[in-house]
């Protein structure tokens, strides 16, 4: 049992170390990134980056990739701002439900046709962006009543209302993924699709759930961020795919599917938002953040790749040794 716990802990070890190191470096070089303020600014990364990374991570766990998350967030932002007259919660619910519905449809098409999710989501990436422009009439939509979003700006110590919302979603989805049949089926199709199918996991359901969750997360993220900012521009959030994927993979979600938990995503998001908070505090450009994000992304993928290769080679060697140990055949 102890070995099993150690096994689990190991998957968090590297991201935790990276987080601590990043934190120490940034805190020691940036005056404003200290104490409560630093925790607050990192947590503020969760509503937008965090939720998108979470949705994306679920698709990666399922062995797929949803490229449309940025467009979905932008569309949801416009929808949330446009429907803000029904109240804050209502607008968020409408936007999220829309995201879930579109995502479920995507998942259904992918499962039914048996196509690669990249192919379809490249299409919806464009389509949803276009719909966003149409919905917003090609210009940024403004909140008519700015008081609607005031609760989101409320700050409670290191938390804000929006970061609390995001963390609650992390918690709920964490439990869903870990302890329900529907959640575990996502891991099953990502870990070994043919085996899962042979075991009786249905073709359609896990894929629909996966993309519905990814759509809903991206939509909630876009809704929260746009309402908080008071406006939604149709060209928003195009860079979220990069940042979201980087956060998920940095936290230890495996690109090969079937591995990683919500805690992994949270760690990755914390690292990435610490980095961008630190860079922003030093007055760096958004483009520098992109550069750093890109570099982090490629290194973490390369590290995982190398580790997998080495692991596989070690396994081959072990198997060869086992074969050597076989008794020689009895002479006939």
* Nearest CB to other proteins, comparing residues 162 and 191: 191
| Residue 321 interacting with other proteins (CB under 8 A) | no
Q: CA 78 to CA 76: how far, in whole Å? A: 5
Find the shortest distance in angstroms from Cβ 254 to other proteins.
Answer: 9
Return the residue of 230, 242, 281, 282 that touches other proteins, per CB under 8 A. Answer: 242
Q: CA 48 to CA 239: how far, in whole Å? A: 12
Find the shortest distance in angstroms from Cβ 281 to other proteins.
Answer: 18
231-232 vs 159-160, strand pairing mode: unpaired
Query: In the chain, what is the straight-line distance between the N-terminal and C-terminal CA atoms, in Å?
Result: 46
| Residue 13 interacting with other proteins (CB under 8 A) | no
Find the shortest distance in angstroms from Cβ 213 to other proteins.
Answer: 16
Give the list of residues 6+ apart from residue 267 with CB closer than 8 angstroms, or none: 12, 15, 16, 18, 19, 250, 251, 252
Find the shortest distance in angstroms from Cβ 97 to other proteins.
Answer: 21
Find the shortest distance in angstroms from Cβ 57 to other proteins.
Answer: 13
Find the shortest distance in angstroms from Cβ 226 to other proteins.
Answer: 17
* Mutual angle of helices 69-82 and 51-61, in 10-degree steps: 140
| Residue 24 interacting with other proteins (CB under 8 A) | no
Find the shortest distance in angstroms from Cβ 18 to other proteins.
Answer: 17
Please identify, among the stretches 12-20, 41-49, 141-149, 254-262, the one whose residues bind other proteins according to the rule CB under 8 A: 254-262
Q: How far is CA 251 from the centre of its chain?
A: 10
* Nearest CB to other proteins, comparing residues 4 and 31: 4
Judged by CB under 8 A, the chain residues 89 through 128 that form the site for other proteins are 109, 113, 115-116, 118-120, 122-128
Cβ-contact 299, 293 below 8 angstroms: no
Cβ-contact 232, 78 below 8 angstroms: yes
| Residue 130 interacting with other proteins (CB under 8 A) | yes
Could you tell me the CA-to-CA distances from 161 to 45, 77, 153 in Å, in that order? 13, 17, 7
* Nearest CB to other proteins, comparing residues 27 and 242: 242
Of the candidates 36, 103, 50, which has an alpha carbon nearest to the alpha carbon of residue 264? 50
| Residue 288 interacting with other proteins (CB under 8 A) | yes
Judged by CB under 8 A, the chain residues 62 through 91 that form the site for other proteins are 65, 67
| Residue 18 interacting with other proteins (CB under 8 A) | no
| Residue 328 interacting with other proteins (CB under 8 A) | yes
Q: CA 108 to CA 303: how far, in whole Å? A: 33
Judged by CB under 8 A, the chain residues 164 through 203 that form the site for other proteins are 179-185, 187-188, 190-192, 194-196, 198-201
* Nearest CB to other proteins, comparing residues 16 and 109: 109
Could you tell me the CA-to-CA distances from 326 to 131, 292, 317, 320 in Å, in that order? 65, 51, 15, 10
Q: CA 204 to CA 315: how far, in whole Å? A: 34
């Amino acid at each position: 049992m102890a070995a099993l716990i150690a096994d689990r802990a190991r998957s968090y070890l590297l991201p935790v170390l990276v987080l601590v190191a990043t934190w120490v470096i940034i805190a020691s070089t940036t005056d404003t990134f200290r104490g409560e303020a630093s925790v607050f600014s990192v947590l503020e990364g969760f509503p937008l980056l965090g939720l998108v990374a979470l949705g994306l991570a679920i698709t990666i766990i399922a062995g797929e990739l949803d490229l449309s998350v940025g467009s979905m967030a932008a569309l949801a932002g416009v929808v949330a701002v446009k429907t803000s007259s029904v109240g804050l919660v209502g607008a968020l619910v409408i936007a999220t439900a829309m995201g879930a519905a579109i995502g479920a449809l995507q998942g259904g098409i992918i499962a039914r046709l048996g196509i690669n999710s990249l192919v379809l989501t490249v299409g919806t990436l464009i389509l949803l962006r276009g719909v966003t422009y149409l919905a917003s009439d090609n210009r940024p939509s403004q909140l008519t009543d700015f008081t609607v979003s005031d609760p989101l700006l409320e700050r409670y110590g290191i938390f804000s209302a929006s970061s609390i919302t995001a963390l609650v979603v992390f918690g709920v989805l964490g439990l869903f993924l870990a302890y329900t049949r529907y959640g575990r089926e996502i891991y099953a199709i990502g870990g070994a699709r043919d085996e899962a199918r042979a075991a009786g996991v249905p073709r359609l359901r896990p894929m629909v759930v996966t993309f519905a969750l990814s759509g809903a997360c991206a939509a909630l993220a876009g809704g929260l961020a746009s309402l908080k900012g008071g406006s939604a521009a149709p060209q928003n959030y195009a860079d979220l795919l990069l940042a979201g994927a980087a956060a998920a993979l940095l936290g230890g979600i495996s690109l090969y599917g079937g591995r990683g938990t919500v805690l992994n995503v949270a760690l990755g998001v914390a690292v990435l938002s610490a980095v961008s908070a630190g860079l922003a505090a030093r007055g760096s450009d958004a483009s520098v953040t992109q550069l750093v994000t890109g570099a982090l992304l490629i290194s973490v993928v390369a590290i995982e790749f190398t580790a997998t290769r080495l692991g596989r080679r070690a396994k081959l060697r072990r198997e060869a040794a086992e074969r050597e140990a076989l008794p020689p055949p009895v002479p006939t």
